Structure 1
């Protein structure tokens, strides 16, 4: 039988709270009017807690305690049921990834009036590394994001799917706006409500990648787009080659938006 008096109990609780605070780390990425909040615990999975209008410090603390967490960069291989941002075949033929946070770097880019945040990930088994980069402009409500992928395995690793960015969008009456068309009929506006299933916007024309579809979309979060009202999220893939935008809607509470090179 173990006997713990109040003093010892307080000490144990204090140690537990301290270890919890030390192991957890949240990163806030801000523009003048928007914020992205990430949970990046050392040795754990990077998770997105919030993306939306800029909030107060008190609201951020509340979000950290109550938010529905989503993987910030989902990878294939360990029970993730939706579309993944990254899947590979290791040198030994294994398809599994388990990415964990090994570091966070935050840099102020004074000349560009921006901040750069880099979330460093490493696979728990293989010498395989991913950096998730976020560049937040301080004079515009724009967050630029991309990934840097490398490995130190003894033989080549095959990249099978590798998105530059991933963003979960809360399900609701969400509409998608994008441009399509053909020769002499380019830039036709398409607007549609997002439904269960997969929506794909892609191009395989190489450098002529904006004649038909376009790698720019807008999500209207409050129903069918209106000219002067409503919340929107705009996204553009800045790439001059073949691309693929995927929006995966399954039985959970999110639309999963992924954008990158067309494999």
Structure 2
């Protein structure tokens, strides 16, 4: 299990068939539509907010906001835009790289995850651990997202726990410690690579449409050629004095994979 730290930090085809009276309501009758307010899960550090939202229409968990700290989240409750899937799955209406891909014990390759509940634990005055529980509605397959915020340090730590109670083994092809979304005009990636005694050679590049992957499969020698650290600049290339920058790293060394995908609308998934 790997953890992603970030400084400053930091869909499934659904068809609903609703039975309706073919004749319609009696003349003069008024239809009353009652909508339950969306559930908001805000996570804050000193200068940053990461907000999740549960969409009442499909029960999924979305990343509704990530950016400078918010004074309140009222507008996120009312907006019709749910945001980006917080932990996208494979075999549904998500057409991009999923955070998790699994095949159930009966061979079904589709995985749907719906919000169940969440809980918050105050570890100490400046550290909070949030657990968000997601479950497949048809199979006993549960994913728990862990988000630990360090308020004073502006750090968000994320990892994932996957459990199942299906009758036979399931196959997990890949899973991510976390998934983050960004909406900016441009994205600049800073990565580090090298060799013994020169592991931190800096290289910068603009992320364009498609996928870029930083990874290694060298196990205990992972730091030899590819350093498990990245920095992401939003809107414009940053320098030593200015820029909007997110820094990310793996909590433990070993095999790792950072994937950056820019879609047709210019949104970035990490």
Pick the TM interval, shorter chain: 0.7 to 0.9
1:169 and 2:169 equivalent? Answer: no
TM-score, structure 2 normalization: 0.85
User: What residue is the counterpart of 2:106 in the other structure?
Assistant: 92
Alignment of 1:197-208 (within 5 A): 197-208=210-221
1:64 CA displacement = 3.6
SS, match of residue 75 in structure 2: helix
Which residue of 172, 178, 194 maps to 1:181? 194
SS, match of residue 55 in structure 1: coil
Q: How many residues align?
A: 243
Which residue of 56, 59, 62 maps to 1:44? 59
* Structure 2: distance between partners of 1:186 and 1:116: 33
Comparing both chains, which one has the higher relative contact order based on Cα–Cα distances under 8 Å and sequence gaps of 6 or more? 2
Question: What CA deviation, in whole Å up to 9, does each residue of 1:113-164 have, x standing for no partner?
Answer: 3111111011011110000111111221011111100000011111101110
Native 8 Å contact 2:199 2:227 kept in 1: no
Question: What CA deviation, in whole Å up to 9, does each residue of 1:212-241 have, x standing for no partner?
Answer: 111111111131221111111111121222
1:109 CA displacement = 1.0
* Structure 2: distance between partners of 1:201 and 1:238: 16
* Structure 1: distance between partners of 2:169 and 2:29: 56
Which residue of 232, 235, 254 maps to 1:241? 254
Native 8 Å contact 2:62 2:82 kept in 1: no
User: What residue is the counterpart of 1:27 in the other structure?
Assistant: 41
1:210 CA displacement = 1.1
Native 8 Å contact 1:41 1:101 kept in 2: no
User: What residue is the counterpart of 1:260 in the other structure?
Assistant: none
Which residue of 24, 28, 50 maps to 1:3? 28
Between Structure 1 and Structure 2, the one with more helix by share is: 1
Native 8 Å contact 1:127 1:151 kept in 2: yes
1:183 CA displacement = 3.1
1:253 CA displacement = 2.9
1:62 CA displacement = 2.0
Unaligned runs of 5+ in 2: 1-25
Which residue of 228, 238, 254 maps to 1:215? 228
Alignment of 1:73-152 (within 5 A): 73-110=87-124, 113-152=126-165
* Structure 2: distance between partners of 1:90 and 1:164: 20
SS, match of residue 132 in structure 1: strand
User: What residue is the counterpart of 2:168 in the other structure?
Assistant: 155
